Each structure stands twice: as structure tokens, then as C-alpha cells.
Amino acid sequence: MLKPEMQAQIVAAAAIIRNGGVIALPTETVYGLAADASNQVAVNRIFEIKGRPADHPLIVHIADESQLTHWAREVPKSAKQLARQFWPGPLTLILPRSPQVSDSVTGGQDTVGLRVPDHPVALALLRALGPGGALAAPSANRYGRISPTTAAHVRDELGDSVDIILDGGPCQVGLESTIVSCLGDSVTLLRPGGIPLPAIEAVLQRKVDVADSTSAKIRVSGSLLSHYAPLTPTELVSRERFWQRASELEAQGLRVATLEWSAPDEVHSEHALIVRTAMPANPVAYGHLLYATLHQLDNAKFDRLLAEDPPHTADWAAVRDRLQRASYRA
Ligand code: TXA
Ligand code: MG
């Protein structure tokens, strides 16, 4: 049950959305910057606030599976199976769009991204919008920056540019949804995220293709190499090279913060310029903390962040993907 104050805020937020406003709302993955998906002017405001190029498509958030056919003109069996298993939850399905979906939502593509978020505040707002109500929402950060996992992150970055920020506490998953495209018979993983690939393959009982993010034909902003980036230059280094690299940076007089998952208890007392952060050795727990940790370390203004490379296994894929993007520098 939501508290009465939150219920009142949801009523206010629904009115703002109906009037073409833009709000920030919690989901289980990250906070979203949301507007009425069927109001083109409102959707355009999202792009302005984010500073995001207009050809990057947005995810449409819906209240439940029954809304799918309003937004997608074709729902393949694979999509139905995945929706049934994982919604509400951190899975976005890319499907052929129906005619009423506006170009500003899809970035002019013939497909639309859809998901049912698993957060009581987001679901209550969607229900308050009534049948057919849907929210187009990217993550509530400026283009290319770290996604917010608390209302304070949104306030720090977007402040007055949104009409209301609904505070639903820290996001439980902490990383964006897994994106899977289901077009005809082909099923492709476009972005690793809250639901690991093996869980998707288990439901479909088949192997799923993984898109090569470096050669993506479509404009998936999360697939641009430098994305989800802290302002502090960040390096991703294996355990074997970790302390050698840390020492090199320290010898240059740089203040370094580490993110370590495997051996945070090792003693390295001789490193005066290095501040160590022990990250969980479990990928789900690590994912939950990653963005909050990056926000915090970014604010502390180190000269360099040094993240230890996680295992190259499916359960770490989403964390590793975000660390790689955070550490890429052109
Ligand atoms: O967990 C999430 O997915 C969060 C919460 C707020 O729902 N949203 C999110 O949105 O991460 P955003 O815009 O930051 O990332 C959505 C990704 C983008 O990379 C976008 O290009 C891709 O989804 N996307 C959306 N529609 C698409 C489409 N039709 N085809 C391919 N990619 C699409
Ligand atoms: Mg984003």
C-alpha cells in the first residue's frame, strides 16, 4: 500500500502528464523521465530536457500486458512468452509498432520498445492515467551520463527542469532493463540488463542472438560506446594488472578510487593516494549499487576511477557492459 501523501502526489503527477508535462518517476531499474506517450509535444520536451538526439527511441511503459496490442501491431509468440514470465519487470520488448505510435517515440523506426515496470509508484501512476495510458520514458539523466537510482540523483542533475519528482526510494535492480527484440521469428538481445540472458533462453527454450553493440544499425543510445559515463576518467582493469596500474597512476600523483569485487580485504597500506571501495562479489548486489557508487565517487572528485573487471560470464554481463561503457574514452 502506498502512503496517502504518495497517493496524492500520484494524482498530481497524473494531472501533470495529462496536461503535457514531464515528470521523474521511480521504476525498479532506474528513475525515468516520463511524459504521455501519445502526446508528441510532451515527448519532445523529454528530448530537450535530456539533451538527447531526436532519432534515439524511447521506451513506452504500460500498465500490463493487455496494452501490448495498442502499441504493437504484431506480438510474436516469443514476446508473449517473455511478457508473461517477466512482466512487471526489467525487460523491454522491441516489437513492430502500431500506426498510432508517434515518430518522436520511436525515433522514426518501424519498431517500438515496451515494458511494464515493477514499481508500485510507476504502476499506480499508469493506472491513474486510465485505459490506454502509457508513459514514454528514458532514464532521467542527461544524455550520456550515469542513470539515476535515487530521487536525489534526479534532483541533482535535472532539478527544476521537471514538473515533479516522485520519490519511490532507491531502485531495487539499479541497472536498466534487458532489451530484447522480437521481430517475426528472430529474437535478439540488444542490451544486457536486469534479467540475464540464460533466464530468457530458458523461457523460450532456444538460443538468443546477441547484437554486436559496436555495429548496431539502429540508434540505441545505450549501444554507443561512451555511455553511462562518470565525469571522472574511468579504467576497467583485470585483477592481475590492478595494483600495477593503481601504482602507476599514484606515481603520477593522481588520486585514485577503486571499485573491487574480488579481494577487497587485501592489505595495500602503502598506497596513500588510493581510496578503495569494496563492491559485492555477487552480480545482482553489485548491479544494485553500481550507479549509486559511481555518482558518489564522481562527486568526490577523484582524478581516476579504477574498476576491477568482473568475470566474463552471463550473470555479470549487465554490470560488465555498464563498466565498459563507463570506462570508454574516445
Ligand atoms: O530500465 C529501463 O529500461 C529504463 C527505465 C526508465 O524504464 N529506461 C531506459 O531508457 O533505460 P533509455 O532511453 O535510457 O534507454 C532505452 C534504450 C535506448 O538505448 C533506446 O535506444 C532503446 O532502449 N530503444 C527504445 N526503443 C527502441 C527501438 N524501437 N529499437 C531499438 N532500441 C530501442
Ligand atoms: Mg539511459
Read out DSSP for 177-242?
PEEEEEETTEEEEEE--SS-HHHHHHHHTS--EE--GGG-SS--GGGSSS-SB-SS-EEEE-HHHH
Measured CA to CA in angstroms, residue 220 lies from 87, 174, 207, 216 at distances of 22, 20, 22, 7
259 is a domain residue: yes
Residue 161 to residue 158: CA distance in whole angstroms = 6
pLDDT at position 328, please? 75
Q: 141 with 264, same domain? A: no
Ligand index nearest the alpha carbon of residue 27: 1
Q: 247 with 141, same domain? A: no
| N-to-C CA span, the chain | 47
Q: 32 with 151, same domain? A: yes
List b or e across 21-36, with b for residues whose CB sees 16 or more CB atoms inside 10 angstroms. Answer: bbbbbbbbbbbbbbbb
Q: Whose CA is nearest to atom 32 of ligand 1?
A: 220
Residues 16-37 have a mean pLDDT of 98
Residue 136 to residue 305: CA distance in whole angstroms = 33
pLDDT at position 54, please? 86
pLDDT at position 226, please? 57
167-211 pLDDT tens trace = 999 999 999 999 999 999 999 999 999 999 999 999 999 999 999
pLDDT at position 269, please? 66
pLDDT at position 219, please? 47
Angle at 63 between CA 57 and CA 69, to 5 degrees: 70
Q: 168 with 21, same domain? A: yes
Q: 196 with 242, same domain? A: no
Q: 20 with 113, same domain? A: yes
Residue 105 to residue 137: CA distance in whole angstroms = 9
Residues 17-27 have a mean pLDDT of 98
Residues with Cβ within 8 Å of 22's Cβ and at least 6 positions away in sequence, in order, are 33, 34, 35, 42, 45, 46, 49, 161, 162, 163
C-alpha of residue 146 to centroid of ligand 2, in Å:
8
Over 80: is that where the pLDDT of 28 sits? yes
Q: 31 with 66, same domain? A: yes
**Considering only CA atoms, which of 203, 290, 300, 286 is closest in space to residue 256?**
300
254 is a domain residue: yes
Q: 167 with 315, same domain? A: no
Residues with Cβ within 8 Å of 148's Cβ and at least 6 positions away in sequence, in order, are 24, 30, 31, 139, 140, 141, 154, 157, 291, 295
- Percent of the chain at pLDDT exceeding 70: 94
Q: 199 with 246, same domain? A: no
Q: Which of 150, 177, 210 finishes a domain?
A: 210
Residue 177 to residue 30: CA distance in whole angstroms = 9
Tell me which of 294 and 225 has the higher pLDDT: 294
Over 60: is that where the pLDDT of 215 sits? no
Pocket of ligand 1 (CB under 6 A): 27, 29-30, 32, 56-59, 90, 92, 94, 106, 109, 111-113, 117, 137-139, 176-177, 179, 190, 218-222
Over 70: is that where the pLDDT of 113 sits? yes
C-alpha of residue 183 to centroid of ligand 1, in Å:
17
Q: 150 with 27, same domain? A: yes
The three three-digit cell numbers of residue 9, written as one number: 502526489
Residue 277 to residue 289: CA distance in whole angstroms = 11
How does the average pLDDT of the chain come out, rounded? 93
Q: Whose CA is nearest to atom 21 of ligand 1?
A: 220
Element housing 15 (H / E)? helix 4-18
**Dihedrals phi, psi of 11, to nearest 5 degrees:** -60, -45
C-alpha of residue 166 to centroid of ligand 2, in Å:
18
What is the pLDDT confidence band of residue 259, given thresholds at 50, 70 and 90?
very high
What CATH number should be reported for the domain holding residue 54? 3.90.870.10
CB atoms under 10 Å from CB of 251, counted, come to 9
Angle at 102 between CA 101 and CA 104, to 5 degrees: 135
Residues 41-68 have a mean pLDDT of 95
Residues 71-84 have a mean pLDDT of 98
Supply the pTM of this predicted model. Answer: 0.95
142 is a domain residue: yes
What is the pLDDT confidence band of residue 40, given thresholds at 50, 70 and 90?
very high
Over 50: is that where the pLDDT of 131 sits? yes
Contact, 102 vs 35, CB < 8 A? Answer: no
Q: What is the DSSP letter of 174?
A: -
Q: 30 with 159, same domain? A: yes
What is the pLDDT confidence band of residue 1, given thresholds at 50, 70 and 90?
confident
Q: Whose CA is nearest to atom 20 of ligand 1?
A: 220
Q: Which residues surround ligand 2, an ion (CB under 5 A)?
A: 139
Domain range holding 271?
Answer: 234-326
pLDDT at position 218, please? 46
129 is a domain residue: yes
Helix runs in 272-316, H state only: 283-299
227 is a domain residue: no
Contact, 118 vs 90, CB < 8 A? Answer: yes
Q: 172 with 306, same domain? A: no
How many domains, in total, are found in the chain?
Answer: 2
Residues 211-224 have a mean pLDDT of 56
Residue 52 to residue 107: CA distance in whole angstroms = 11
Ligand index nearest the alpha carbon of residue 62: 1
139-175 pLDDT tens trace = 999 998 999 999 999 999 998 899 999 999 999 999 9
- Percent of the chain at pLDDT exceeding 90: 86
What CATH number should be reported for the domain holding residue 302? 3.40.50.11030
| Closest atom of ligand 1 relative to the 112 alpha carbon | 29
